[in-house]
Structure 1
Amino acid sequence: MAKNTGRSRSPGEPSSNPNRSKPQQSSFLGRLARRVAIWGGALVLLAAIGLGTAVAVTMSQLPAFDALKSSQNGQMIVVRARDGSELVSLGPSYGKWLSYNEIPPVMRGAMVSVEDRRFREHIGVDALGLVRAVYVSLTTGGRAKATSTITQQLARNVFLNNSRSMTRKAREAVLALALERKFSKDQILELYLNKVYFGGGAYGIDAASRKFFGHPATELSTAEAAIIAGLVKAPSNYSPTADLDAAKSRGEVVLGLMVKNGAITQADADRADIADVAVVHEKGQNSVRYFTDWALPQLDMLLPDTNEPIEVWTTLDPKMQQAATNSITANAPSGAQGALVSLDRDGAVLAMVGGTDYVNSNYNRATNAVRQPGSSWKLFVYLSALEAGYTPDDRVMDEPVTIDGWSPQNDGRNFAGQIDIRTAFAYSKNTVAAQLGNEVGFGTVASMARRFGITTPINTKPAMVLGTSEVRVIDMTRAFAAISAGGTSVEPYGIVKVTTTSGEVLYQHKSARGQVLVPPNVAAEITDLLQTTVATGTGRAAQIGRPVAGKTGTTSSNKDGWFLGFSSGITTGVWMGRDDAKPVRGLSGGHAPARAFADYMKVAVSTRPVEQFQTEVKLPEWQLEPDDEALQGSPDDYYYVDENGNVVHPGTNGEQSDDQPRYEDGSVGPGPGPGTPQMPDYGPGAASAPGQRTPSNGGSGSGGGSGSVPPAASPDFLNRATGRSSSEESQRTRQNPANTNAPRAVRTPAPERTPGA
């Protein structure tokens, strides 16, 4: 018997044969695959059950077909005028509901071809299209873009919003599957074609056909059907009334898809000449739309979120709006635009025109455009001067002047010499405005404009006094309305109340008392100046047979023309110019804008009583004329301030002792020289009060070069303001207004109090 030399293997020892591990490994992978298949199948089954349940539940909750037919998309808004009449109805526009058989086959074919060519095959969600989109995404590295089916679009339009979240897409898919289970393909297409949005407020093919082609959808031609079908992708981009070429180009693409999908033959496509399609252009829409475009966005702040139909009661007066439109149309120079805003005494917008043609340009120049106001900006310059103590009768010098290298010129390049403030304003003297602005401070003028509601950026360079900072028409009109209101702020508003169609009040405007912007005497004085401008100055074309106060404005090279003014409680601002800011031949504020103002105001104030302006000035105590020396104090209580703001006691001949206080440079605006001394305490014993001015440049009155700016007022003004009688020195100064080296008299009580303390 042969000897066995091999070692026996213990029961637990692994076999040394390498081939024995392969069946074990195959067995493990097989078990893993079986488990994955089982669990995967279970998950798919659970997902299918869940999806089926969701679809079944959704289907049971879907409205009936007739209920879906009567539902509407969007919010209807009826805008009413001041008198309750309907101005415009905004929101969705619906044509006649067309049944499936009434819809032209060419329209059905066009829509299916461009939006969902497998509409008749899929179950509501196009699985093949989704797989293709995922494949394209994986192979190109881009984002998967699966086109929604017609059923999905219907679900989104009727039940959902346009958010791009995965949750919304999942709900959309469930709704689409439920719609396909509950309704037939013909019913779904009927709902879709009667509800899809085509732009311009038109929902459904009948509304779109009437809007763009002027006839019912039952009469649509092949070319017209192609154009309408092409709108769904981007209604605003392909709207025939906005861009006819883009609409027709898109229509050609749709015709090609219709041929490819078998909806029409190539011969049909060749006969459908899209180039010959006639589009109905909207008639010139009422300029009311400028107003509604401004007012209605405010509803987002005034109302809680709501989709129910509402009625918006506004301040607009239809008669005045028509008069405003006519005045702009009749007076705007050829090639130029015009804008008008008219406010009642409480800020209610009575009329608003944002351009000469809303259809051709819906850009609202009354509220959005910013343009240089020219000399109408001088309102703020003279307000600052009057608040500082000037009066309309004070004498000023209209002569050449240079400030920081800038030398303003008057219209006509002539100078009147010594004139009063009233005349300087009425004839819009640029040199006087420059002197006043330099004296009170350009920053002070900017602050005054801010105070009166100017919201746009304001520069403080010397030329700012002539209106180089751009402004809005509505802001300037608001500023003039505040003057009409006696120096009290006015807030423009356009919505009086908002109600539901059943009459429930959702919002009611509450009038707020305005803030006092300037003292009553300043408002009266500037009204005096504004009235003179219309009576005898540059604004004579704005006369309407009753008191009018206003101001013209014209920018360099006649690029902008303005007139702003008020009468009988109505304030109106008019601007004219080109959108590209090119010069307009012959344009000036005193011509076309002033005439437009007059044409409008004659209608606007026709039913109102004539109102005289309050120009009787009641001066504050510090500016009153003295009638009792005992009341005003002893002449020994006065001290003098020289041109540098240094105190000089009477009898020192201008020599200052070393123990007198000196003021540091405190200029309040750009310009040469030390500026106006800063005297922060205006109480008793203070060195100065508002309106008691010292020269801001310290130079002589020659006006011949930089750093040599003549004062804008004569010293006799100070005598009246402080109650001091004329002395020989003040007499000499009055005879020679350029003599700014003469001491200025400033009233103060007891001399023992340190000036400026």
Structure 2
Amino acid sequence: MQIELPHEDRLRPNPTRPSPRKRRTRRRRTRWLRLRDVMNAALVLSVTGSMAIMSIVGQQVRQMPASSEWTVPDRAPNIRVLARDGSLISNRGKTGGEEVGFTDLPWYVPAAFIAAEDRRFREHFGVDLVGLASVLLDSAKAGGITRGASTITQQVAKNLFLTSDPTLSRKIQEAVLALWLEREFTKDQILELYLNRIYFGSGATGIEAAAQVYFAKSARNLSLGQAAMLAGILPAPSTYNPKADPELARKRQRLTLDAMVRDGAITPAEADQARGADGDVVASRGSTGHYVADWVEALMTSYIGELEGDVVVYTTIDRDLQSFAERTVRDYVRREGGNGKFNQGALVSMDASGELIAMVGGVDYARSQFNRAVTARRQPGSTFKPIVYAAAMEKGYSPDTVAEDARFDFNGWSPKNDSDRYHGMVSLRDALAYSFNTVAARLAIDVTPQAVIEMAARLGISSNMPPVPSIGLGTAEISLLELTGAFVPFANKGYGVVPSVIERIETKGGRVLYRKDDAGPGRVLSPLTVSQMNDMLVAAVRNGTGHRAGLANWEVGGKTGTSQNSRDASFVGYTANIVTGVWLGRDDDKSAGIYGGTLPVAIWTEFMERAHAEMTPVELPGYRLLQENYVVQYAMDPNTGATLLDADTGEPVIQILERTPIDAIS
């Protein structure tokens, strides 16, 4: 039997087939070569990418000014407007609040913002690489951008130097500027810049403005809960602020407090207490004094020129009376102005020196910032007549002069009384008290319209008035501020005033930039004219169209007015201490359906009762000298006929005589 042996090729090792050991070595080598290629490619890409990024960054940097020219721009100056007692009326300027120092804030205020906006603020160098990596990872998992990665320093850089355009160019420049800020300023200084320039919604820029707008207090006095709520506003100021959505603002507050606990800034117990005590109620500042603050801001340039820093303005406004005046005007308009009648009101009140104690420019500042007390020009109607009568007194008429109340024609103009009834021969006292138009028109023609304009100018009215006969009926348009100021000389013995609201202006550090000068126009009415006007205007309140006005134990003078077609209704009345004017009407110049002797008098009475509550009654100058059977007139030199002057004061000498009849106007 022959046994077949295997072919030797089958028994001999195959020289072309590596051993298992060699195969393992080769596989490891292959993997290494592949990894090397990947690493080389990654290195090339990294270097290439870095070079590309450096090129892009370099290009952006080259487009920026040299770093030696970089400076932090000045913050827009703030105007802090204070009432007479030092309480805050409002802030004005582009920011809405003054700048506050970092060290002036409670420690938990910056801590709240760090926890909410940039927890590694104290550690990073302007750009938070850890935070950026976290954002990229979260965004990759979510398939889109989940949150921002800008640090507080980057936000400062954007707010100071850049726009909000979400472009790569802006982000690169923002990072570069953030690095520069970190090199030039301390962390506390950067936080101070941030807190004073970030926007909080509702027109408030900066922590002080936000504290005033949302909590009616200084940022120096913020509680922990309030600080946390403000910090929670920043991602979306228009949406998260407590005026827009109180409940959402409270949710944001809780997130900030939780973040502060996470970072060890506060304890859980402190967070719980802050949630319960400070997040539930947001104080409202209302609209007290906003029209005043706007007017003050408009006056600043003429008083001290361009602002170079924050200023504090001390006004003459009485905060309590200001609030009462606003509330009274608003309540009357809302209660009585329905059914398409009047929908606006204004009030001006000043003391006998012309210093304003209250001013209301409208019923709802949030809806309309137009100031109807200072800016609006309207026909005063019969409230203007005392100016005509004052010019007549200077020409030689007296309250007892008799004039004819009857229709007449003057070059085609034929004025008539509102009632279209006429009373024949009447004294000027009665004609003014009952507001007879024909008598006022006769006086304006007789003394001449130009003389009336000159009298108005002496009394402080600067609006342009045409010299036409109808000026005697109050057809020229003037402001309520001018009209009220024109009555002040009747209350203060004949001295002209320039209505003022600013007592002094100081820098934030206390340096006085402006102080009101007490010097005024001087005497603009003679003592005799003052006595005569008070005689007639007291009668207008006691017996005439203003009979609904009056203050217990006080002598009160005043005059009502209603413009054509009842578009405007006004009343200006005064005591020896305070002069107040009230206007009611509409912005669209349609009929208001009211008269000066009704609701304007009612508002005036409520306000003046409040204003005089703590005052001792004072007589009007010269009023009693013209009562009963006496008349006051200048003493005349019997030889020359000239008016005698007092040797000590230089004032005309007044003599009191028994009343005698005076000829009627022809």
TM-score interval, normalised by the smaller of the two chains = 0.5 to 0.7
Distance 1:454 1:54, change over 3 A: closer
Deviations 1:46-105 (A, max 9, x none): x99x9799756468x98xxxxxxxx99444544332233343455337995478874479
Q: How does 1:55-454 map to 2 (within 5 A)?
A: 55=66, 57=68, 73-89=75-91, 91-92=96-97, 96-97=109-110, 102-103=115-116, 154-155=156-157, 157-158=159-160, 177-180=176-179, 183=182, 195-197=197-199, 200-203=202-205, 228=237, 283=284, 285-303=286-304, 307-332=308-333, 333-334=336-337, 335-454=342-461
Distance 1:228 1:356 in 2: 28
Q: Displacement of 1:229 after TM fit?
A: 8.2
Q: How does 1:504-543 map to 2 (within 5 A)?
A: 504-543=511-550
What's 1:556 paired with?
Answer: 564
What's 1:620 paired with?
Answer: 634
Distance 1:218 1:402, change over 3 A: same
What's 2:50 paired with?
Answer: none
Distance 1:84 1:221, change over 3 A: closer
Do structure 1's residue 717 and structure 2's residue 662 form an aligned pair?
yes
What's 2:580 paired with?
Answer: 572
Deviations 1:705-754 (A, max 9, x none): xxxxxxxxxx9736xxxxxxxxxxxxxxx8xx8xx6xxxxxxxxxxxxxx
Question: Which residue identity lines up with residue 594 of structure 1 in the other structure?
Answer: V
**Contact preservation (8 Å) 1:477, 1:571:** yes
Distance 2:403 2:661 in 1: 11
Question: Which residue identity lines up with residue 561 of structure 1 in the other structure?
Answer: A
What's 1:609 paired with?
Answer: 616
Distance 1:211 1:515, change over 3 A: closer
Question: Which residue identity lines up with residue 717 of structure 1 in the other structure?
Answer: I
Which residue of the other structure, out of 462, 473, 488, is the alignment partner of 2:469? Answer: 462
What's 1:144 paired with?
Answer: none
**Contact preservation (8 Å) 2:79, 2:297:** no
Secondary structure, aligned partner of 1:291? helix
Distance 1:607 1:190, change over 3 A: closer
Distance 2:411 2:282 in 1: 56
Distance 1:100 1:393, change over 3 A: closer
Secondary structure, aligned partner of 1:477? helix
Distance 1:102 1:156, change over 3 A: closer
**Contact preservation (8 Å) 2:157, 2:181:** no
Q: Which moved more, 1:472-481 or 1:83-92?
A: 83-92
Question: Which residue identity lines up with residue 547 of structure 1 in the other structure?
Answer: E
Q: Displacement of 1:479 after TM fit?
A: 0.3
Question: Which residue identity lines up with residue 601 of structure 2 in the other structure?
Answer: A
Q: Unmatched 5+ residue regions in structure 2? A: 1-57, 119-131, 134-151, 164-171, 217-224, 246-280, 626-630, 644-659
**Contact preservation (8 Å) 2:153, 2:182:** no
Distance 2:528 2:191 in 1: 72
Distance 2:355 2:162 in 1: 36
Do structure 1's residue 593 and structure 2's residue 600 form an aligned pair?
yes
Distance 1:72 1:311, change over 3 A: same
Taking only aligned residues, the RMSD between alpha carbons, in angstroms, comes to: 4.8
Distance 2:364 2:532 in 1: 39
**Contact preservation (8 Å) 2:489, 2:525:** no
Q: How does 1:719-738 map to 2 (within 5 A)?
A: none
Distance 2:377 2:412 in 1: 28
**Contact preservation (8 Å) 2:498, 2:520:** no
What's 1:727 paired with?
Answer: none
Which residue of the other structure, out of 469, 486, 509, is the alignment partner of 1:479? Answer: 486
Question: Which residue identity lines up with residue 569 of structure 2 in the other structure?
Answer: G
Distance 2:415 2:364 in 1: 37
Deviations 1:371-407 (A, max 9, x none): 1101011112111211111111011111121222222
Distance 1:352 1:413, change over 3 A: same
TM-score by length of 1: 0.55
Secondary structure, aligned partner of 1:552? strand
**Contact preservation (8 Å) 2:550, 2:556:** yes
Distance 1:421 1:226, change over 3 A: same
Question: Percent sequence identity over matched residues?
Answer: 31
Q: Which moved more, 1:552-561 or 1:458-467?
A: 458-467
Secondary structure, aligned partner of 2:524? coil
What's 2:24 paired with?
Answer: none
Q: Which moved more, 1:296-305 or 1:348-357?
A: 296-305
Q: Which moved more, 1:397-406 or 1:174-183?
A: 174-183
Secondary structure, aligned partner of 1:312? strand
Distance 1:446 1:161 in 2: 55
Q: Displacement of 1:478 after TM fit?
A: 0.7
TM-score by length of 2: 0.62
Distance 1:210 1:370, change over 3 A: closer
Distance 1:290 1:513 in 2: 25
Secondary structure, aligned partner of 2:565? helix
**Contact preservation (8 Å) 1:560, 1:577:** yes
Distance 1:217 1:84 in 2: 25
Q: How does 1:677-692 map to 2 (within 5 A)?
A: none
Q: Displacement of 1:483 after TM fit?
A: 2.2
What's 2:128 paired with?
Answer: none
Distance 1:560 1:53 in 2: 59
Q: Displacement of 1:530 after TM fit?
A: 0.8
Question: Which residue identity lines up with residue 332 of structure 2 in the other structure?
Answer: N
**Contact preservation (8 Å) 2:382, 2:474:** yes
Distance 1:210 1:716 in 2: 64
- Give the length in aligned residue pairs: 485
Distance 1:199 1:182 in 2: 26
Distance 1:310 1:523, change over 3 A: same
Deviations 1:327-386 (A, max 9, x none): 323433315211111111111111111112222322211111111101011112111211
Q: Displacement of 1:620 after TM fit?
A: 3.5
Distance 2:438 2:63 in 1: 85
Distance 1:337 1:515 in 2: 35
Distance 2:68 2:312 in 1: 37
Q: Displacement of 1:549 after TM fit?
A: 0.6
Distance 2:374 2:459 in 1: 16
Distance 1:409 1:577, change over 3 A: same
Distance 1:207 1:396 in 2: 61
Distance 1:429 1:78, change over 3 A: same
